[in-house]
Amino acid sequence: MPPTVFIVDDDPSVRKSLERLLRASGFTTQAFASAEDFLACRPCQNPKEPACLVLDVRMPGISGINLQQKLAKTGIILPVVFITGHGDIPMSVQAMKDGAIDFLPKPFAEKELLAAVEQALTKAARLQEETAEKAEIHRRVNTLTPREYEVFRWVITGMLNKEIAAELRVTEKTIKVHRARVMQKMAAASLADLVRLAEKIGIASEKRSSSGN
Amino acid sequence: MPPTVFIVDDDPSVRKSLERLLRASGFTTQAFASAEDFLACRPCQNPKEPACLVLDVRMPGISGINLQQKLAKTGIILPVVFITGHGDIPMSVQAMKDGAIDFLPKPFAEKELLAAVEQALTKAARLQEETAEKAEIHRRVNTLTPREYEVFRWVITGMLNKEIAAELRVTEKTIKVHRARVMQKMAAASLADLVRLAEKIGIASEKRSSSGN
DNA sequence: TTGTAAATTGGACCTTAGTCCAATATCTTC
DNA sequence: GAAGATATTGGACTAAGGTCCAATTTACAA
């Protein structure tokens, strides 16, 4: 199944020609007449395969810019390529600030659109991969008990078991047990791996309490 | 010393009013009539303090867009705020793709420019900090001997000393010595720290050779 | 040729980490 | 009230990492 390009444009003729062009280039397409219509399509917003969105800036109801912002806010991975007939500079700047791949005023060369779509799909693939990786790590973290999680955050600071034990006011033995479980649950073969897992999801490591806490 | 805002615009009256506005807002300013003039100012391109650039897009000689690209290519940290009297959408899109903070068509509200400059300076500060940190790590890496560097890359994979020793066809004892030196030279208090240092500068860790290699 | 940096190894020893056993105390929940 | 999860600890080992000592070999530069 080729990657999907969603199209949202209120002009039927534009939708038609975009679909023709993109399908001819080997993409799967799905077109909508408005942002509302697109938002009504639930599965469209959680594509398993990399996908992207070719979006008209100016539409009745929810604007393209607005739709882009909504999607970004909900963490949906759908890089956007804007097209527009009557755009202006502030609009294009806002779109780019919000992470748009490109912003093409009509008329544009087919080549330009295709290049932008390719780039958008590449980015979608990368983001999906990264997101999936993080989700998997979070899944593992969620299997940790509160205490294990606490020990986890201490371990990745590089502190010795005995130091962590003193910090948590338990014996070193206890830390060893928790630590072993953390390694197992996080599927980390080594401390180096564990540290990298923590870095990937941006876990704030504990800070050594001074003196008697 | 307040942060510096460099101004490059071929129109003397624009330079003058920009300088007035920015100085009144508490910034140090330094204005140039052309990209060439700015490039001739060596110290301007390696500011110790965070600085940014307010840049006219369209100028005789090297254009603003072009200047931005040149600076980026040489790794100079100078976030750009574009201003323009006769810009178009493709121009603004290109500028944003190249990392511009904002792109303001004239006439713009003073508030807009100031907000963009603030943001540019914030970004400059962050980039300078990150760059400095990386530079310091690289400095340490460069004090490693070739063999130490090699061991370094193996250590951060999480492999045991004996495994690394087998990989490099030396005794475990040798690895221990190199490893200790690596920790010392890299100023890492623990393996966790060492891994994080490596991650920060994106060091590719070694890959275990299969079988007899 | 001599000095220096780099790479290698050994011995002796101590400190840490990890593992397999088992046991106890709480607390929540069905 | 009993089952199950969580947190804690102990004993007894094994193995892995780190340290302080010293020594040899090689290669390159002064």
> Residues B11-66: pLDDT tens digits?
999 999 999 999 999 999 999 999 999 999 998 888 999 999 999 999 999 999 99
Pairwise CA distance, residues B44 & B40, whole Å: 9
Query: What would the two tokens of residue A156 be?
Result: 């990745």
CA of A167 to C1' of C25 (A): 22
The gap between the terminal CA atoms of chain A, to the nearest Å, is 58
pLDDT in tens, A11-57: 999 999 999 999 999 999 999 999 999 999 998 888 999 999 999 99
CATH number of B4-131: 3.40.50.2300
E strand or H helix at A53: strand A51-56
In this complex, the residue of A96, A157, A192 whose CB is nearest that of residue B156 is A192
- DSSP annotation of A86 reads S
Would you call A152 exposed, middle or buried from its count of C-beta atoms within 10 A (0-12, 13-18, 19+)?
A: buried
Q: Which residues of A touch B191 (CB under 8 A)?
A: 158, 191-192, 195
CA dihedral A129, A130, A135, A136 (to 10 degrees): 70
Indicate if the pLDDT at residue B122 is higher than 80. Answer: yes
* A158/B88 touch (CB, cutoff 8 Å), yes or no: no
Domain boundaries, chain A: 4-131, 143-212
- DSSP annotation of B29 reads E
* A158/B191 touch (CB, cutoff 8 Å), yes or no: yes
Residue A28 forms beta bridges with which residues?
A4
Q: Which residue has the higher pLDDT, A150 or B2?
A: A150
Pairwise CA distance, residues A170 & A172, whole Å: 7
| Sequence-distant contacts of B128-131: CB under 8 A, at least 24 apart | B128/B50, B128/B77, B131/B77
Verdict on whether the full-model pTM lies above 0.75: yes
Three-class DSSP category at B182: helix
CA of B173 to C1' of C4 (A): 23
Residues 70-99 (A) with a CB less than 8 A from some CB of B: 87-90, 92-93, 96-97
CA dihedral A62, A65, A67, A69 (to 10 degrees): -130
Percent of chain B with pLDDT over 90: 92
The gap between the terminal CA atoms of chain B, to the nearest Å, is 59
Rg of the Cα trace of chain A?
Answer: 24
Q: Which CATH topology does B143-212 take?
A: Arc Repressor Mutant, subunit A (1.10.10)
pLDDT at site A115: 98
Give the nucleotide nearest to A191 (CA→C1').
C17
pLDDT in tens, B143-159: 999 999 999 999 999 99
- Specify the amino acid at residue B36: E
Residue B210 neighbours by CB under 8 Å, 6+ apart: none
Pairwise CA distance, residues A172 & A10, whole Å: 66
Indicate if the pLDDT at residue B211 is higher than 50. Answer: no
Pairwise CA distance, residues A48 & A32, whole Å: 19
Indicate if the pLDDT at residue B212 is higher than 80. Answer: no
**Residue segments in chain A with a per-residue pLDDT below the cut of 70:** 208-213
Three-class DSSP category at A4: strand
